[in-house]
Amino acid sequence: IGTVRQMLQHAMNGRKAFEVTLYNKDVRAAVKDNQSHVIYGDHWADAQIQDVMASDEVEALNLIDMRYPREEGFVVQKLPEC
């Protein structure tokens, strides 16, 4: 299973790097039933890694939630500080 890494923000003073692992539960369910999601690609069934610069874990989660909303099926699996 491959992963894709992207940085959502560039490094800034006072920021920490967080490595966020997330997937989309709706895409995962569709792929399991040999279907495709209407909006998101099948790769979202697998864990994807996003690097985020934030002052703390709460800010990192907020940044991820703005880009990958829980309401649209995105699930954060891990959020370790790098």
Does the pLDDT value for residue 11 go beyond 60? Answer: no
Rounded distance, CA 13 to CA 35, Å?
44
Distance from the first to the final alpha carbon of the chain: 22
Rounded distance, CA 74 to CA 50, Å?
13
Q: What is the per-residue pLDDT for 15?
A: 87
Q: What is the per-residue pLDDT for 7?
A: 54
Model pTM score: 0.81
List pLDDT tens digits, range 34-73. Answer: 999 999 999 999 999 999 999 999 999 999 999 999 999 9
